[in-house]
Amino acid sequence: MKNFLLIIAVVFVFAACNCGPKLQRTTIVYDAHHLDSSWVQLPCNYAKASDTSHYPLLVFFHGIGEAANDGGLNVMLTLGPPKYMADSIRFSFANANKIYNFIVFCPQDFDGYRTPQNVNAILDYIVAHYRVDQSRIYLTGLSAGARNCLNYVTESQAYANRIAAIVPMSSIVMDAAHTSHFNYVANANVHTRIFIGTSDATNLSNNQTYANAINALSPGLAEFTTYAGGHCCWNGPYSTNHDFYNPNIYEWMLQFHK
């Protein structure tokens, strides 16, 4: 019996050691002169030669407070998915009795304000270099990063068509060119869940307007969720457990696919 238990323990430790790191540095290369540093987490079995699976993709966009030039990634480790990856959380969640393991990318920008074209280039790079299930691409971000998500899906119908769901948190104000194209979101059936603090006076009404505009075109497509706090407090909604929301936002995303 002792020998049997020892074998089980050895197998478990071996499997755990082959699961891969929960937080890695990588680079996203656009061309010979442009690249972004990024945190990444790959699924547990991703590196195994026998694994040919394609996985859901989650891309997180930080705010201006976490911006830095190449090599400054550690500033991102206090908020959102990078914090939880640094806390040794594996982004593996259940939906409809099935476990999904995310590919998670958290690219860093020098100021946090990305163009939709830059977001699209990030997606192109990841899809070209990793085994992504392109029916399950999800975007999330906070503050300026939240606007990056919203601007992307309102930039063109082709861009919106790539995305299954977005979770913008406390988006800063969008420009009129993008707020006039929530029809792209509705046409592509991009499920949207907006979070914002009740004391975020600068952005609260705008974020409510964005949700209302989407729902006017496709009732129920957007959810609007508030929490106590100002332009802050994002780690509650980003929590990987059920202390704040059940389902958590990752389980919520997994309900939706193309």
DSSP codes, 110-126: SSS---HHHHHHHHHHH
Please give the pLDDT value at position 142: 98
pTM confidence score: 0.92
Could you tell me where the beta strands, DSSP code E, fall in the chain? 24-31, 34-41, 55-61, 92-95, 98-101, 103-107, 132-142, 165-169, 191-197, 222-227
Please give the pLDDT value at position 97: 92
Structure tokens at 64: 């201006």
Give pLDDT tens digits along the chain (258 positions): 434 333 333 333 334 445 778 999 999 998 877 889 999 999 999 999 899 999 999 999 999 999 998 668 999 999 999 999 999 999 999 999 999 999 999 999 999 999 999 999 999 999 999 999 999 999 999 999 999 999 999 999 999 999 999 999 999 999 999 999 999 999 999 999 999 999 999 999 999 999 999 999 999 999 999 999 999 999 999 999 999 999 999 999 999 999
Please give the pLDDT value at position 69: 81
How many Cβ atoms sit within 10 Å of the Cβ of residue 148? 30
Phi, psi for residue 14 in degrees, rounded to 5: -60, -45
Are the beta carbons of 126 and 28 closer than 8 angstroms? yes
Domain CATH number, residue 113:
3.40.50.1820
Residues 6+ apart with CB under 8 A from 215: 221, 222
Rg of the chain's alpha carbons, rounded to an integer? 19
Residue 246: DSSP 8-state: S
Full domain range(s) for residue 17: 2-254
Kindly list the distances between the CA atom of residue 237 and the CA atoms of 68, 141, 208, in Å, as whole numbers in the listed order. Answer: 24, 11, 17
Give how many domains the chain has, as a whole number.
Answer: 1
As beta bridge partners, residue 138 has 58, 165
